[in-house]
Amino acid sequence: MKAKFLVSLAFAALFAAPFTAAAQTTVVPESRAQVQLSFAPIVRKVAPAVVNVYATRKVQQQAMSPLFDDPLFRQFFGGGGGSMPRARMESSLGSGTIVDRSGVIVTNFHVIKDATDVKVALADKREFEADIVLKDERTDLAVIRIRDKGDYPFAEIGDSEGLLVGDLVLAIGNPFGVGQTVTQGIVSALARTQVGVADYRFFIQTDAAINPGNSGGALVDLQGRLVGVPSAIYSKSGGSIGIGFAIPASVVRFVVDQAKTGNKVRRPWLGATLESVTADVAESLGLSRPQGVLVAGLVPGGPAAQAGLKVGDLLLTVDGHEVDDPDSFGFRFGNRPLGGAVKVDLRRGKTPTAVQIASVAAPETVPRDTRVVEGSSPFAGTTVVNMSPAVAEDLRLPFDLTGVAVADVTPGSPASRVGFQKGDLVLEVNGVKIDDTRTLLRAAQTESFLWRLVIQRDGQQVRLAFRG
C-alpha cells in the first residue's frame, strides 16, 4: 500500500509560466535549431533575484532525562538543575526571491519562523544581514529586507490568475543546500485546496522538481515573472516525486503590499461560518453538481449580516471568481484589500441575487489586555488575551467565543510541558469561571496543591487535573 506524506519544505524555490494561446498550439520541431531551444535566457534574467535564506533560532533543550518533565518524578527525586532547560542555537536553510530593487525578499513563514537572526546569500555570493518585516503564518509567507541599501536584482511579481494547466514552469532554489538549482515542469493543477500547510489553501500544483531547500524560492513563467512561491510537496521519502505546491502570486502581492504599511497582515472579516456543498446537499438544492458554499451561521452585526446574507444562502462567486468550498471562498475574500466592498453572487432558494459585503477588519470589541503568565502554575509560560472577533481572526477560532484564549506558549515552560496549545480557551481554574485575563492571572498566582482546569480545544471541553 502506498502512503502519501505532505512534507512542509523548510527550503524551496519554484518558477511557473503561462503560454499565450498561440504558444499553446502543439508544434513539431522542424530544424536542429528548434530542438536546441533553451530556457537559459529566462534563468539569466531571474536567477540573480533568487537568494539563499539562512535563519538562526534559539531553542530550549532539557539538560537531563525527559523523566524530569514529570512533576511527580521531580517530587520524589528533586528538581535541581536537571529539569532546567538550556538554550542551543538551531539553523535552517531556505530560499527567497527579491521582489523589489531595494532588497525586499519574499520567503516562506516556516523558513524564518522563530528566527532571531536572518542572513541571505545572493547568487553572486554576496551575503547580507536581513530584517524580518512581516510574518504571516496563515499564508505561510514572510517578507524580509536586506539591511544594506542598494540596487538589487529583482523578479517582477506576475499574474497567477493567468496560469493554465499545462503551462511550462521553472523552479529555482537551493535544494538540500547543494547550491542554486533550476528545474523545469508544467502546471499540473490549479486551485488545490486540500493542502494543509496554510489557512488560505489555494495552491498551484506542479511537477517541476521541488525538494527540501527550495521553500520560499520562485515559481516563474516564461517571461521570468514570479507566479508562485513553493511551500510543500507530497512525498514518502522527503524528496520530490513530482507533486509540489506553490502559493499563488496573487497572495504574494497581497502580503508584500501589506508589508509596505505595517508588520501585520490585515484582512477583511466576513463574520460568517461556511460549509461545503456535498452531493446530497446539491441534490436537495436542485443543483446538477456540488458548487458554491453554504452560509451556516452569522455573527450579529458582522459584515455578512449587514450585507443581508442569511443562513442557507448558497454563495457562488466572489468578485466574479467561482468558489467551490470554504477554502476557496476564504482565499478569494480574505485576500482583498480593506476598504470598499466585495461583490458576492449567491442563490437564495431558487432566486439568484448579489450582495456587496464591506471589506473591513474584524473589530476588537474587548481590549486584548495581553498578559504573560509567570511563576510555577500550569499556566506559567503562556501569553493570554481576551477574546474578540479580531483575536478570533488572529488565532483562527470561531467568532462567537468569549473569555480568555492562549495566544502563545513558551517552549520548555511549565505550560508547554503540561500540554497547553495556542488557541486553547480557558474556561475554569479550580472552580472559578475565567471571564478575562485579570481573573486568570489572579487564579494562576494562587498556591494550590491540585490544579483543576476546564479548557476548550477544537470545540470540545476538556477537564484536566495537575498536582501543584
**Beta carbons within 10 angstroms of residue 367's beta carbon:** 11
- 110 catalytic per annotation: yes
**Beta carbons within 10 angstroms of residue 359's beta carbon:** 18
Contact 204, 65 (CB under 8 A): no
Overall size of the chain counted in residues:
468
With CA atoms as reference, report the closest residue to 191 among 137, 248, 241, 233.
248
- 131 catalytic per annotation: no
Q: What is the 3-state secondary structure (H, E, C) of 135-190?
A: EECCCCEEEEEECCCCCCCCCCECCHHHCCCCCEEEEEECHHHCCCEEEEEEEEEE
Distance of alpha carbon 340 from the chain centroid? 25
CA torsion sign, 245 to 268 to 329 to 167?
negative
Candidates 215, 235, 250, 413; catalytic one: 215
Tell me which DSSP letter residue 20 carries: P
Candidates 83, 92, 95, 110; catalytic one: 110
Look-up: residue for cell 446537499?
281
Strand pairing partners for 300?
none
Candidates 100, 136, 140, 325; catalytic one: 140
Distances (CA, A) of 226 to 96, 156, 158: 11, 6, 5
- 400 catalytic per annotation: no
Question: Active-site positions?
Answer: 110, 140, 215
